[in-house]
Amino acid sequence: MSTKINIAIDGYSSCGKGTLAKALAHHFNYLFVDSGAMYRAVTWAIQKEKIELTKIDKVSDLLSRINIRFVYSEQDKFYQTYINDQNLEKEIRSMEVSRYVSEVSAIKEVRDFLVNQQQQIGLHKGVVMDGRDIGTVVFPDAELKIFMTARPEVRAQRRHHEIVSRGDTHTSYNDVLSNLTERDSMDSSRSISPLKPASDALVLDNSEMTREQQLTIAIDWVNDIIKNLS
């Protein structure tokens, strides 16, 4: 059996991290973990219980009651996000959650709780995880760290297209663009684990690249690393 590595993919909102991460996981038969979905799931739960973000005791109590899981859907051929027994895959992608998630993900207690779960998942290697702090905090020893970026207009176009194709015709391109630039700025400037490339990350700007081109580059990176390890 070939050596398995952990792959950390970080970068700005909507620059295709998930798409590349899923394709890499599929290619190498690795586990794909969308860490943003975990922050979104906590945000959804906080909103549902109408917890004020300044009430840290209430946030901690909520965290002690929720179990975030990824369950494979044969029908959709990908992992869906659950809290306890409730499938929240659709709810966590709403604009309501998107508007609030950066604030929730700046809370230390939330980050400690989720980083711990993410690190447990990575113990056995063979994981592709995408997020904002995977190469810097969650897996600082990941054998491959990719930092993805693309021009904001390109990212907003892609995310808007995705939202419309899910049947939401109320969200405009401008709403999406302003939400993602605002999130970029909050994610990069927060005091705990701000979004930034790890010093040893390989940068991938995919503004002008097809999905296939990105995947080919990343597969070559992985194969080079595995060759050097074995």
Could you list the residues that contact ligand DC (CB under 6 A)?
Answer: 13, 35-36, 39-40, 101-102, 105, 131-134, 183, 187
Our CB check for ligand DC shows the closer of 126 and 194 to be: 194
Strand 144-149 with 202-205, pairing = parallel
Q: What is the edge-to-edge ordering of all strands in the sheet holding 31-34?
A: 31-34, 127-131, 6-11, 144-149, 202-205
Handedness of CA 77, 172, 152, 157 (dihedral sign): positive
CB of 102 to ligand DC, least distance (A): 5
Q: Which is nearer to ligand DC, 132 or 145 (CB)?
A: 132
For ligand DC, the closer of residues 105 and 206 by Cβ is 105
Instruction: Please state the φ and ψ torsions of residue 228, each to the nearest 5 degrees.
Output: -70, -20
For residue 220, the minimal CB distance to ligand DC (Å) is 25
Our CB check for ligand DC shows the closer of 200 and 220 to be 200
- CB 179, CB 95: distance < 8 Å: yes
Q: How far apart are the first and last CA of the chain?
A: 11
**Of 31 and 134, which CB lies nearer to ligand DC in the complex structure?**
134
Quote the least distance from Cβ 84 to ligand DC, whole Å. Answer: 20
For the CB of residue 213, give the shortest distance to ligand DC in the complex, in Å. Answer: 22
The nearer residue to ligand DC, 145 or 183, going by C-beta atoms, is 183
Question: Residue 204's closest CA among 216, 190, 187?
Answer: 216
Rounded least distance, CB 141 to ligand DC, Å: 16
Residues 6+ away with beta carbon under 8 Å from 76? none
Closest approach of ligand DC to the CB of residue 5, in Å: 19
- Residue type at 113 in one-letter notation: F
The helix (run of H) or strand (run of E) holding residue 8 is strand 6-11
